Amino acid sequence: METLEKIKQQIAENPILIYMKGSPKLPSCGFSAQATQALMSCGEQFAYVDILQNPDIRAELPVYADWPTFPQLWVEGELVGGCDIILEMFQQGELQPLVKEAAAKHQPKTEQPGAE
């Protein structure tokens, strides 16, 4: 699969996705650590791609996204931004509803108790 196709597929399949250096539990740079900390504080599951393990994505994504740095947060196919934007949105209370709304839309549908 072409790198660009892989990137598009990852973004399409994951409502909340962060491209970062390392993993949320073991980030490899301060910016990725701060960004994932804010994201984890929102309380929803999210996907991540370690660009250090994927040099092809590390090279292609900045061109595709027209965004030169990492981390990059994508929510529902849209680039939200990097570390500064993520932290600013979190501090202003804008990140939490964005993440919760995206997560809610993509949760498996469950039957409401008593709904007949």
List, for residues 31-76, the tens digit of each pLDDT value. Answer: 999 999 999 999 999 999 999 999 999 999 999 999 999 999 999 9
DSSP state of 110: -
Q: What is the dihedral of CA 30, 31, 33, 36, to 10 degrees?
A: 180
Q: Which fold has domain 3-105?
A: Glutaredoxin (3.40.30)
Beta-strand runs (E) in the chain: 16-20, 47-50, 72-75, 78-81
List, for residues 80-103, the tens digit of each pLDDT value. Answer: 999 999 999 999 999 999 999 999
Provide the residue ranges of all domains of the chain, joining segments of one domain with +. Answer: 3-105
Q: Please indicate, yes or no, whether the overall pTM of this predicted structure exceeds 0.85.
A: yes
